[in-house]
């Protein structure tokens, strides 16, 4: 039962990361087209573009963590440690948007 629940969390986290990456890439591409018009536009929205790139970098880190946990789980045993559970929990919670990011 725990294994199925863990796999569901991992699948959901992976799906969320992929969806977030796609949305962020689309926003970034639109922003890049907007910025190409003039230097003034680049100054206007450059920080926003940097935030989008930060989001993509964080999602890369989340995918790497998930992959490491899955590899560890497969090579060590079929049981997941309390430390692994906490790391997965932290990873899933980190995908929830912060109040600052929603604004």
Q: Which residues contact 73 (CB under 8 A, 6 or more apart)?
A: 80, 84
- How do the domains of the chain map onto residue ranges? 2-97
**Nearest CA-CA partner of 6 in 81, 63, 75:** 81
Q: Averaged over 11-20, what is the pLDDT?
A: 87
**Nearest CA-CA partner of 84 in 58, 60, 75:** 75
Query: Among the residues of the chain, which ranges form H helices?
Result: 2-35, 39-76, 82-94, 99-102
Residue 102: per-residue pLDDT: 47
Q: Can you tell me the distance from the alpha carbon of 6 to that of 85, in angstroms, rounded to the nearest whole number?
A: 9
The pLDDT tens digits of the residues spanning 81-97 come to: 788 788 888 888 887 65
Residue 13: per-residue pLDDT: 84
């Amino acid at each position: 039962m725990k294994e199925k629940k863990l796999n569901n969390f991992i699948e959901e986290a992976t799906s969320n990361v992929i969806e977030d990456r796609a949305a962020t890439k689309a926003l970034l591409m639109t922003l890049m087209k907007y910025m190409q018009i003039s230097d003034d536009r680049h100054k206007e929205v450059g920080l926003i573009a940097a935030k989008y790139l930060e989001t993509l970098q964080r999602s890369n880190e989340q995918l790497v963590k998930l992959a490491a946990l899955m590899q560890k789980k497969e090579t060590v045993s079929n049981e997941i440690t309390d430390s692994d559970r906490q790391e997965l929990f932290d990873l899933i919670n980190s995908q929830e948007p912060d109040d600052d990011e929603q604004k």
